Chains A and B, each alone.
Chain A
Amino acid sequence: MDNLSTTFYALADPTRRAILARLSRGETTLSELARPFDMTVPAVAKHVRVLEEAGLVRRGLRGPTRPIRLQPRALRGAHQWMERYREFWDTSLDRLGAYLAHTAERPRGR
């Protein structure tokens, strides 16, 4: 599976998105990550593994326990992909704005 598909697959789950949100505030243990969820720690570990395989998180290399942390450039590819469409909408909306302004200036009716 290509990188973009792997990333979006990883993001397609609300638990995994919540894990990413928590990790954006700092690295932590699996035990801590699992706390807010009503699921077993092994189930959360599986979500972490999906995020790891998508390159979005990793277990740190240093230290005895290697806490789980966010990868800094994790979502760059997805972000760049979405940027293209943001530009599309921005351009379209600019054009819509210009059209509406032009139409408003013309007298109503025939």
Chain B
Amino acid sequence: MADSRAPLDLSVVREYPYPIDVVWEACTSTQALVHWFGPEHAPAISFVADIRPGGAWRACLTRGETVRPLYVSGHYLEIDPPNVLVFTFRWEGDHHEDGPGVETEVTMELEALAAHRTRLTIGQIGLRSAESVGGHQHGWESCMDRLGAWLRVRYASSIEVGASRVKVRRGQVT
């Protein structure tokens, strides 16, 4: 039910077939974040962060060689391993469809559904228009696709199968 008084927000949920510690690491390690942060059409080429309460983060997203990259940054508000990550999120410059300098708040919540199943919920609040909500929703969905792909490559190559300890080649694990 749409309520014009409710603040604009979005929420995206995915489940990944990996332990919660693995997904938490993907969300809190800059070496991992640079591989999945940013949508497919504007992936991160750098992710610099001081991942601790109050620490700053900044990502550079490329849109191709002929277009200027986008910078987005903020700082961490809460880090509660392995479940909750809260940070501010602000597009630098004046390309934000909601206007320059709009600061939103992003919450990432991880739940261990099973030993090898984690639900990741990403929420963002403080957006100012329905268009912006739609744009950011697609962006996060794309990020989560990229995260799934990165996790598959990163961890599928070293899964032990049964007692034989056979190393599974990339691309063969479902």
| A residues apposed to B, CB below 8 Å | 1, 6, 9, 29-31, 34, 40-43, 45-46, 49-50, 53, 59, 63-66
Chain A residue with Cβ nearest B54: A64
> Which residues on the B side are within 8 Å of A29 (C-beta)?
78, 80
Contact B78 A30 (CB under 8 A): yes
| B residues apposed to A, CB below 8 Å | 5-7, 9, 11, 52-55, 76-78, 80, 83-84, 86, 105, 107, 109, 121-126
With A40-B121, A42-B123 in contact, do A31 and B7 touch (Cβ < 8 Å)? no
> Which residues on the A side are within 8 Å of B11 (C-beta)?
40, 42-43
A7 to chain B, nearest CB (A): 12
Question: Which of A31, A43, A46, A53 lies in contact with B78, CB distance below 8 A?
Answer: A31
With A49-B7, A49-B9 in contact, do A40 and B54 touch (Cβ < 8 Å)? no
Interface majority SS (helix, strand, loop, mixed), chain A: helix
Contact B126 A30 (CB under 8 A): no
> Which residues on the A side are within 8 Å of B109 (C-beta)?
40-42
Interface majority SS (helix, strand, loop, mixed), chain B: strand
> Which residues on the B side are within 8 Å of A1 (C-beta)?
5
> Which residues on the A side are within 8 Å of B124 (C-beta)?
42
Chain A residue with Cβ nearest B109: A41
Contact B54 A45 (CB under 8 A): no
